[in-house]
Structure 1
Amino acid sequence: MAKRSAEIVGNEAEPLKGGERPLKAGDGEEMEFEDEFEDEYESEEDILEAGVDGRPDEEREAEERRDAMDVDQQTFIPGRNQLGKGEALSPDSSAYEMLHTLSTTWPCLSFDIIKDSLGDDRKTYPATIYAVAGTQAESRKAKDNELMVMKLSGLSRMDRDNEEDSDEDDDDDDENAEPILETKSIPVLSTTNRIRAHAVPQTDVSKPPTTFTATMTENAEVLIHNITPHLSSFDHPGTIINQQQSKPVSTLRMHRTEGYALDWSPFFPQGKLLTGDNDGSIFLTTCEGGKWTTDNRPFTGHTSSVEDIQWSPTERNVFASASSDGTVKVWDTRSKSRKPQVSVKVSDTDVNVISWSQRNAFLLATGADDGIWSCWDLRQWKPSSPDAAAPTPKPVASFNFHKEQITSIEWHPTDDSIVAVAAGDNTLTLWDLAVELDDEESQDTADVKDVPPQLLFVHYMEMVKECHWHPQIPGCVMGTGGGGFGVFKTISV
């Protein structure tokens, strides 16, 4: 059997699922009815023939079909439907295993989740998450910007009033836990466009790794910070971070314009970093012996801004870049020409974000300004001349559910069919490309118009900018937006 169709979150009533209809008042209760047809029908057989309400079966069934259509028309889809005056969205708690929102002084455009030492495949509650983010303060208060090293703890499971827990003590811990956001501030003088973390393992395995962050700022600088002491201070109360520890270990100024493209290589533990700017230039920076060195020969080929960069998960010298020129290009860092090996036109609008599957290295997802996101098989991409894009192959899958720009996209870390997508329509959606409906399920979902069966979940999040899966808490998603941070885990993933 295929997976159930999309669960739409944000309805005023409980969301409909495939083949289900809302219960009417009184369903499941013992009630006494006055037999108003007692004089009209003389036998039980006559009553059954006329139907329970005295009407012929055909007339009653026709009304039930009309009622069902009215219910389906009332299904609220965030990003598609508009709220009426005085209406507000509230999440359907039955669709979530965990749901928390945490606010900050200033919104953040970008953040990254930091892998910790608490263990992999964590399924117990309350949950704990370590992360780092950069703020977007008002322009007149640019000096108030900061990097926030964060510890989110006390993230409890949703209350289940109808659920019996065999372990009452554990249940009490889950229900009584209060979410806590602890932060350590690192001052910066500009808005953070994008931030990514990188862990360098220690020779002594008993010691925590050294964690660096790379930050692309609005003033075109790339700041490298060592946030190891900030992370350590969460577990050692009373620790004081001195001013020197909050200064960047390196400030890179090779870019002439600001940028948003940034990624660490997974194959160089000491640190190898790619950064791309609005001029279309991509630079490679490497750390050797504690010294950060940038190759002054940029990779060139994009005719407009570089919006995103991702290293290959399997090839140590290969990376892909996305641009507002509508292309995705694949590069080899060993190339002396500094030109792309493959260039494919994937959109007629800006390609804002890309994500390389960690499970299947031939799968690449793209998200564009027109709201379309697609999945591509890189085995179908052929080498092209340096200055011309190859003929566009057909995507493995493509969806235009979102009607605003795609702002973030990321493959599930352990499932090669599930993707998280954030968009400018204030939604963060989860998709399963493996879903195929059979005939019966197709009939059940036919009334929910314009909702692809691969859409698993719609989460409303104001002005959502970026989302990430937690690599150690299966199914946990974190997002950042105009209203702060959201952390959730659904029942369906």
Structure 2
Amino acid sequence: MSKRTADEDAAGPLKAGGRPDAMDVDDKLPADMGEFEDEFEDEFESEDEIIEAGVDGRPDAEREAEEGAMDVDGNNGPGTFIVGRTRLEPGQTLSPDPTTYRMLHNLSTPWPCLSFDIIRDGLGDNRSVYPATMYTVAGTQAESSKASDNSIMVMKLSALSKMQGGDESSDDEDDDDEDADPLLEHKSIPLNTTTNRIRAHQAPGSQNPVTLTATMTESTNVFIHDITPHLASFDTPGTIITPQQNKPISTIRAHKSEGYAVDWSPLHPQGKLLTGDNDGLIYVTTRSDGGGFVTDTRPFQGHTSSVEEIQWSPSEASVFASASSDGTIRVWDVRSKSRTPALTMQVSNVDVNVMSWSKQTTHLLASGDDAGVWGVWDLRQWKPSAAGGSVAGKPTPIASFDYHKEQITSVEWHPTDDSIIAVSAGDNTVTLWDLAVELDDEESKDTAGVQDVPPQLLFVHYQNMAKEVHWHPQIPGVLAATGEEFSVFRTISV
């Protein structure tokens, strides 16, 4: 796979491994500053690395008049956009209907981020109190002429309030600070190269968990950082991060080309990492009890093109799957001496960009391709042929959707509900799906005029240049998505 630049991507559709256009940035803005942009407020106050933004200070009547509807017909009058029925004219854009969200906040950063991850925290599971707090880590993509501006951003987002007046019937607990201004605190780790994909892992520590990140970069190197002190600094005012703490604790140099595939094993607490590159090679790196990292220099080989996505099995410690631009998903066993796949499934005629392995029902695997098609596969149906690793016969997904008209850039199962999936795509949308939905005959008549919209589609969220979407593992229903900017949101439907 040839390397794609931001300029090249501007002239064509974005792939999962492509890069969005750089944002206009004030040259005087420090590299470690961002703005927490609220949907209804354009004024910001900043102090050091804490940014505040008001939710909505306008009179209720003015706000309610604006929220009443979206103008999609170009006549300066209210209109409602109905997926599958309404068409946007050139120059028209959509505005979110606040009544469909429980929470919605937008975040702008100095440079767009291709990839991010949500970090588990010690605030408890199944949280329903608003305002909410969450921790994330992301990697930037600066213009090629300003590569030195690139960094890893460790972030704490707090005071994330519910939409004012929205979802009054919700059982969520609210504290007295619902209308508080959202806060963003962050620490920057200089990187000097674009982050293609970043993933976090928490390993046992002597007292508290050690939070590690693995960053696949344009430079072909994979950097492992310990961001534990950066996270701790948010709750310890005055903490200074030293230059030594910003340095990687290990650098993987086995890859000869850049890559986009990286995953930490959920079943190896100390840390076991898979990385895949554009040459189709996959390497495994293991963290020892002493904290050091060792990369096995014997790659896993089998893909005939770039490895776009890789994931460990959530239930079998030695098994992983990889998706490739050769149109296949392959299943591997790290114990194999041959370093070849145990199963090979041709799931698409185009690039398979992304993949997600269900943690609740571990024989289910979701994938998304370059043509905008995503589907769900039952791994129990994948049987190797007598000839070896290839699967006999053409595989059939248990569910397949051709709703998106551009490449699928991210797909992720809900952390506790194996029927709900979030999908992002190059058509600037993040969609939520419920695979358990089935229409009866009467309902089918009511939706007869919307043939292009599957009944399983729950929600459509606009996200310019959508690249990745993740569910928060501890705050039910909350998602974060990245593209030209970040969105943190929860809909009333999930």
Query: Displacement of 1:182 after TM fit?
Result: 1.1
Matched position secondary structure for 2:177: helix
Matched position secondary structure for 2:403: coil
Q: Which residue in the other structure is 1:94 paired with?
A: 99
Q: Which residue in the other structure is 1:243 paired with?
A: 243
Give matches, 1:145-294, under 5 Å. Answer: 145-160=150-165, 163=168, 170=174, 172-174=176-178, 176-203=179-206, 207-288=207-288, 289-294=290-295
Q: Which residue in the other structure is 1:4 paired with?
A: none
Distance in 1 (alpha carbons) for counterparts of 2:357 and 2:479: 17
In 1, are the aligned partners of 2:300 and 2:340 still within 8 Å (CA)?
yes
Distance in 2 (alpha carbons) for counterparts of 1:151 and 1:275: 27
Distance in 1 (alpha carbons) for counterparts of 2:145 and 2:487: 27
Match status 1:459 vs 2:464: no
TM-score normalised by the chain length of structure 2: 0.81
Structure 1: tracts of 5 or more residues without a match: 1-10, 16-70
Correspondence for 1:127 among 123, 132, 137: 132
Give matches, 1:40-439, under 5 Å. Answer: 75-77=81-83, 83-84=88-89, 87-160=92-165, 163=168, 170=174, 172-174=176-178, 176-203=179-206, 207-288=207-288, 289-384=290-385, 385=387, 388-439=390-441
In 2, are the aligned partners of 1:129 and 1:151 still within 8 Å (CA)?
yes
Q: 1:166 to 1:342 in 2, by over 3 A?
A: closer
Distance in 1 (alpha carbons) for counterparts of 2:388 and 2:141: 37
Give 1 or 2: higher helix fraction: 1
Query: Displacement of 1:444 after TM fit?
Result: 2.1
Larger Rg: 1
Distance in 2 (alpha carbons) for counterparts of 1:316 and 1:165: 39
Q: 1:123 to 1:173 in 2, by over 3 A?
A: same
- Give CA deviations for 1:254-297 in whole Å, capped at 9, x if unaligned: 00000000000111111100000000000000011211110011
Q: 1:290 to 1:86 in 2, by over 3 A?
A: closer
Matched position secondary structure for 1:453: coil
Distance in 2 (alpha carbons) for counterparts of 1:221 and 1:121: 37
Distance in 2 (alpha carbons) for counterparts of 1:359 and 1:411: 9
Query: Displacement of 1:197 after TM fit?
Result: 0.3
Query: Displacement of 1:201 after TM fit?
Result: 2.0
Q: Which residue in the other structure is 1:488 paired with?
A: 489
Distance in 2 (alpha carbons) for counterparts of 1:481 and 1:162: 27
Correspondence for 1:444 among 429, 443, 446: 446
Q: Which residue in the other structure is 2:33 paired with?
A: none
Query: Displacement of 1:461 after TM fit?
Result: 0.4
Distance in 2 (alpha carbons) for counterparts of 1:250 and 1:183: 23
Q: 1:159 to 1:392 in 2, by over 3 A?
A: same
Amino acid at match of 2:203: V
Matched position secondary structure for 1:154: strand
In 2, are the aligned partners of 1:343 and 1:390 still within 8 Å (CA)?
no
Query: Displacement of 1:177 after TM fit?
Result: 1.5
State the superposition RMSD in angstroms: 2.2
Amino acid at match of 1:252: I
Matched position secondary structure for 1:173: coil
Matched position secondary structure for 1:120: coil
In 2, are the aligned partners of 1:147 and 1:188 still within 8 Å (CA)?
yes
In 2, are the aligned partners of 1:301 and 1:386 still within 8 Å (CA)?
no
Query: Whose RCO is larger (CA < 8 A, sep 6+)?
Result: 1
Query: Displacement of 1:181 after TM fit?
Result: 1.4
Amino acid at match of 1:219: S
Distance in 2 (alpha carbons) for counterparts of 1:376 and 1:395: 5
Distance in 1 (alpha carbons) for counterparts of 2:404 and 2:306: 23
Distance in 1 (alpha carbons) for counterparts of 2:321 and 2:171: 49
Q: 1:297 to 1:164 in 2, by over 3 A?
A: closer
Q: 1:246 to 1:436 in 2, by over 3 A?
A: same
Amino acid at match of 1:486: S
In 2, are the aligned partners of 1:12 and 1:90 still within 8 Å (CA)?
no
Query: Displacement of 1:393 after TM fit?
Result: 1.9
Percent identical pairs in the alignment equals 66
In 2, are the aligned partners of 1:165 and 1:171 still within 8 Å (CA)?
no
Query: Displacement of 1:329 after TM fit?
Result: 0.3
- Give CA deviations for 1:149-182 in whole Å, capped at 9, x if unaligned: 0001111001117949999x956521x2111111
Distance in 1 (alpha carbons) for counterparts of 2:472 and 2:240: 28
Amino acid at match of 1:192: T
Q: 1:171 to 1:296 in 2, by over 3 A?
A: closer
TM-score normalised by the chain length of structure 1: 0.81
Distance in 2 (alpha carbons) for counterparts of 1:394 and 1:305: 24
Query: Displacement of 1:188 after TM fit?
Result: 0.4
Structure 2: tracts of 5 or more residues without a match: 1-65, 71-78
Distance in 2 (alpha carbons) for counterparts of 1:274 and 1:155: 34
Distance in 2 (alpha carbons) for counterparts of 1:104 and 1:273: 28
In 1, are the aligned partners of 2:134 and 2:157 still within 8 Å (CA)?
yes
In 1, are the aligned partners of 2:131 and 2:175 still within 8 Å (CA)?
no
Matched position secondary structure for 2:232: helix
Distance in 2 (alpha carbons) for counterparts of 1:113 and 1:164: 28
Matched position secondary structure for 2:360: coil
